[in-house]
């Protein structure tokens, strides 16, 4: 690390801020102070090609990709400072109020809002693909009774790819998705079937038989139908709950190059099939720092318990003995625009399902945190996870279903980025650079000549147990 800091510290970048239109004015000049060598790097859309540093025998070090862009994208725009989120140029607030999830899915995937005829055709195609092959449902029924729904979801998506060999580049050749019809067929299959797989995961989780989908219903209405129908012949979900969930799905459909979407692009860059890539993206979403964040919020609110304990909790956060979950965001430096919308949805859901005891704790925690300069100065505002878990909990979902509920709509965003990457002529297989800090070339010592003592650099796993075995062998 010291070596790396030294290298970075010796690089001086001077940006040409002049308004001149002379050649080279839209560029950055970098001087290596070790050698005096200077290079002029062109600026395009606020970016410079990272490979330019090769001329100085340097690589950029950026763990977490805080300031590294692997792609140009026209799908989602985020202005974190202003709290702006838009899909294909449409503000998220407008889409949440006036659109529906399947229409937004079409927009994200194909770039424009559909006409009435296009939407009817799109909806029909997606809903026709909600049915699962009986062999796939049999696989899902063979999971343990206590299998985590997200583990079932990921495994089932990967398994589903084996049912469609015509979509496997390993079998059909790497150009199989140059065919628009083949590509779009996988898209409607995945969007249609992920909701059914999620519903089956839930039903397995609660010990109930799977329900067949009803393709005459809307997307989220059908999902709720598959979750909750028992033996009722004419069961219909509450339309207000279906609309609330539809808005939640819109808000979660895409969010630029987050961890799971970057994983989708990374895996997809090898030209594997979309089922395998999507299973990998869902696996990234599984983590508590990503799709499991709203579950962490619920556990935090349960830990606080009552409003009167909030001041003590806040002091614990300031003293770094407690963690404030659901506040702050890697991108947003102001209020997450999705959180504002979800806050209103929460009260709509509570009016149907009954009061959620933790909402009073959540609202008061938000009020006190937003009035405290400690949090305001650090741009710690509620994000989308702060209220979403309360909504799902109120609707009766167990906490281990939360990441699955995230994965259903995010499937659309993952596929939109997969399609965009396929059409990008500059796309390459992802292969990040590493900065090697290991041992230099060493001489191999034969086993019989090595000292018996365990050296200081040996893994902690080669400790007492290894020594005990060595003594027993002697």
* Active-site residue flag, 252: no
Chain mean position to CA 273: 19
Q: What is the model's pTM?
A: 0.85
pLDDT tier, 472 (very low <50, low <70, confident <90, very high otherwise): very low
What letters, b where the CB count within 10 A reaches 16 and e where it falls short, cover 323-356? ebbbbbbebbeebbbbbbbbbebbeebeeebeeb
- Catalytic residue chosen out of the listed positions 10, 16, 290, 372: 290
Examine the pLDDT at 78 and tell me if it is beyond 60: yes
Task: Write the pLDDT tens digit of every residue in 225-252.
Answer: 999 999 888 899 999 999 999 999 999 9
- Catalytic residue chosen out of the listed positions 32, 228, 336, 385: 385
| C-alpha–C-alpha distance, residues 232 and 241, integer Å | 19
State the average pLDDT for the chain.
87
* Active-site residue flag, 290: yes
Query: Which of 142-146, 159-163, 377-381, 445-449 is least confident?
Result: 377-381
Q: What is the pLDDT of residue 256?
A: 93
DSSP 181-238: HHHHHHHHHHHHHHHHHHHHHHHHHTT-PPPPP-TTS-HHHHHHHHHH--S-TT----
Q: What is the CATH number of domain 78-290+411-422?
A: 1.10.580.10
Q: What is the pLDDT of residue 454?
A: 57
What letters, b where the CB count within 10 A reaches 16 and e where it falls short, cover 81-101? eebebbbbeeebeebbeebbb
| C-alpha–C-alpha distance, residues 296 and 202, integer Å | 20
Examine the pLDDT at 462 and tell me if it is beyond 80: no
Fold of the CATH domain 293-394: Cytochrome p450-Terp; domain 2 (1.10.230)
Q: What percentage of the chain carries pLDDT values higher than 90? A: 64
Task: Write the pLDDT tens digit of every residue in 343-354.
Answer: 889 889 999 998
Q: What is the pLDDT of residue 465?
A: 42
| C-alpha–C-alpha distance, residues 120 and 115, integer Å | 9
DSSP conformation class of 277: H
- Catalytic residue chosen out of the listed positions 252, 266, 329, 417: 329
Q: What is the pLDDT of residue 451?
A: 82
Q: What is the pLDDT of residue 5?
A: 40
Residue 142 contacts by C-beta under 8 Å, 6 or more apart in sequence? none
Q: What is the pLDDT of residue 10?
A: 39
Kindly report the three-state secondary structure assignment for every residue of 139-196: HHHCCCCCCCHHHHHHHHHHHHHHHCHHHCHHHHCCCHHHCHHHHHHHHHHHHHHHHH
Query: Which of 22-31, 95-104, 248-257 is least confident?
Result: 22-31
Tokens of 294: 């709203």
User: In the chain, what are the domain boundaries?
Assistant: 2-56, 78-290+411-422, 293-394
Q: Which of the pair, 62 or 100, is modelled with greater confidence? A: 100
Tokens of 111: 């770039």
pLDDT tier, 321 (very low <50, low <70, confident <90, very high otherwise): very high
| C-alpha–C-alpha distance, residues 277 and 275, integer Å | 5
Examine the pLDDT at 463 and tell me if it is beyond 60: no
């Amino acid at each position: 690390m010291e070596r790396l800091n030294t290298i970075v510290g010796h690089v001086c970048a001077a940006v040409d801020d002049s308004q001149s239109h002379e050649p080279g004015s839209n560029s950055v000049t970098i001087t290596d102070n070790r050698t005096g060598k200077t290079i002029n790097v062109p600026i395009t859309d606020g970016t410079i090609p990272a490979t330019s540093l090769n001329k100085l025998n340097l690589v950029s070090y950026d763990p977490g990709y805080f300031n590294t862009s692997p792609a140009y994208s026209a799908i989602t725009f985020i202005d974190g400072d202003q709290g702006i989120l838009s899909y294909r140029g449409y503000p998220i607030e407008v889409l949440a109020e006036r659109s529906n999830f399947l229409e937004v899915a079409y927009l994200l995937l194909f770039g424009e809002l559909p006409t009435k005829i296009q939407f009817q055709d799109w909806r029909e195609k997606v809903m026709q693909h909600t049915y699962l092959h009986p062999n796939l449902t049999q696989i899902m029924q063979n999971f343990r009774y206590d299998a985590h729904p997200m583990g079932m979801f990921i495994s089932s998506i990967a398994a589903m790819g084996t049912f469609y060999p015509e979509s496997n580049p390993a079998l059909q050749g790497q150009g199989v998705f140059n065919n628009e019809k083949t590509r779009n067929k996988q898209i409607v299959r995945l969007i249609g079937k992920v909701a059914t797989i999620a519903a089956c995961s839930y039903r397995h989780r609660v010990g109930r038989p799977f329900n067949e989908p009803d393709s005459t219903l809307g997307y989220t209405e059908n999902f709720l139908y598959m979750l909750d129908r028992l033996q009722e012949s004419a069961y219909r979900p509450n339309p207000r709950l279906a609309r609330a969930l539809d808005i939640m799905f819109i808000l979660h459909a895409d969010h630029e190059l987050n961890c799971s979407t970057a994983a989708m692009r990374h895996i997809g860059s090898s030209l594997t099939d979309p089922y395998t890539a999507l299973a990998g993206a869902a696996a990234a979403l599984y983590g508590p720092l990503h799709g499991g964040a709203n579950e962490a919020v619920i556990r935090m609110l349960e830990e606080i318990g009552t409003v009167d304990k909030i001041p003590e909790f806040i002091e614990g956060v300031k003293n770094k003995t407690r963690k404030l979950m659901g506040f702050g965001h890697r991108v947003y430096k102001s209020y997450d625009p999705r959180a504002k919308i979800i806050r209103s949805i929460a009260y709509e859901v509570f009016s149907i399902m009954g009061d959620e005891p933790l909402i009073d704790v959540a609202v008061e925690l938000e009020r006190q945190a937003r009035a405290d300069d400690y949090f305001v100065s650090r741009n710690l505002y509620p994000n989308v996870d702060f209220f979403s878990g309360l909504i799902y909990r109120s609707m009766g979902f167990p906490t281990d279903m939360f990441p699955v509920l995230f994965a259903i709509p995010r499937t659309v965003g993952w596929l939109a980025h997969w399609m965009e990457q396929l059409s990008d002529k500059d796309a390459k297989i992802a292969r990040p650079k590493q900065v090697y800090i290991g041992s230099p070339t060493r001489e191999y010592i034969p086993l019989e000549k090595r000292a018996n003592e365990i050296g200081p650099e040996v893994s902690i796993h080669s400790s007492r147990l290894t020594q005990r075995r060595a003594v027993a062998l002697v």
